[in-house]
């Protein structure tokens, strides 16, 4: 057994936490079944993910749907014929597909630069909140965590930040405003 560290943490002599090794040592005779095999190979993967939402904290990662919300409104792609990003009242369950976006990191994995595409039709947010199908016209956004639950600042190229007014207007400002971001999973 590894030695107890001060404060009740388990670790090795170097002070590194090794909880997984301790758990394996304690449960040598009772192992759970391996989570793969014929019964799982044919499983419907879409049913393995629980539907719902969770507010994002910390560094952003790719590979999920996000909603960007401020002042009770969410950034929205109204769909067919929409030329620009607009806003609509934020959905209580964050389940409106028109309000879902996907971020795509540009540069190294720890960077804050992203392009943003819509879940509705895959179009990118372009210059001055336009919508485009062409990747080369996509605006690069610096998305910065303001810390302490203050949200995330979305800054397209330049010095201005994206914001949504209390009346729902999408605009750019010199203020560093914080969007609340929600990670959402819905089958639609």
Domain CATH number, residue 179:
2.80.10.50
Asked whether the whole model's pTM tops 0.85, one would answer no
* Residue 160 domain flag: yes
Place of tokens 């965590």: 145
Q: Of all residues in the chain, what percent carry a pLDDT higher than 90?
A: 62
For the chain, counts of helices (H) and of strands (E)? 2, 13
Q: pLDDT tens, 66-109?
A: 999 999 999 999 988 899 999 999 999 999 999 999 999 998 87
Instruction: Give exposure, 170-187, as e/b (b: 16+ Cβ within 10 Å).
Output: bebeeeebbbbbbbbbbe
Q: Are residues 20 and 54 in the same domain?
A: no
In eight-state DSSP terms, residue 126 is B
How many structural domains does the chain have?
A: 2
Band of pLDDT at residue 27, cut at 50, 70 and 90: confident
pLDDT of residue 13: 62
Burial of 105 (0-12, 13-18, 19+ CB in 10 A): middle
Looking from the CA of 67 toward its CB, the CA atoms found within 13 Å total 27
Cα 90 to the chain's mean position, in Å?
Answer: 16
Q: Are residues 28 and 106 in the same domain?
A: no
* Residue 38 domain flag: no
Domain, as residue range, for 181: 46-185
Q: Are residues 130 and 176 in the same domain?
A: yes
In eight-state DSSP terms, residue 121 is T
Q: pLDDT tens, 28-61?
A: 777 666 666 776 667 776 666 778 999 999 989 8
pLDDT of residue 114: 96
CB 18 within 8 Å of CB 2: yes
Please calculate the CA angle 115-154-171 and round it to the nearest 5 degrees: 105
């Amino acid at each position: 057994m590894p030695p107890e560290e001060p404060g009740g943490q388990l670790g090795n002599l170097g002070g590194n936490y090794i909880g997984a090794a301790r758990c394996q040592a304690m449960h040598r005779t009772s192992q759970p079944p391996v989570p793969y095999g014929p019964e799982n190979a044919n499983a419907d993967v879409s049913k393995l993910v629980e539907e719902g939402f969770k507010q994002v904290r910390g560094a952003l990662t790719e590979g999920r749907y996000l909603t960007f919300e401020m002042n009770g409104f969410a950034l929205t792609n109204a769909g067919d014929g929409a030329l620009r990003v607009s806003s609509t009242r934020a959905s209580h369950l964050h389940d409106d597909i028109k309000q879902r976006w996907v971020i795509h990191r540009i540069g190294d994995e720890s960077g804050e630069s992203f392009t943003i595409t819509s879940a509705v039709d895959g179009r990118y947010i372009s210059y001055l909140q336009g919508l485009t199908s062409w990747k080369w016209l996509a605006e690069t956004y610096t998305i910065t965590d303001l810390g302490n639950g203050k949200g995330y600042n979305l800054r397209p190229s330049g010095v201005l930040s994206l914001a949504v007014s209390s009346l729902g207007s999408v605009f750019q400002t010199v203020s560093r405003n914080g969007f609340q971001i929600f990670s959402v999973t819905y089958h639609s």
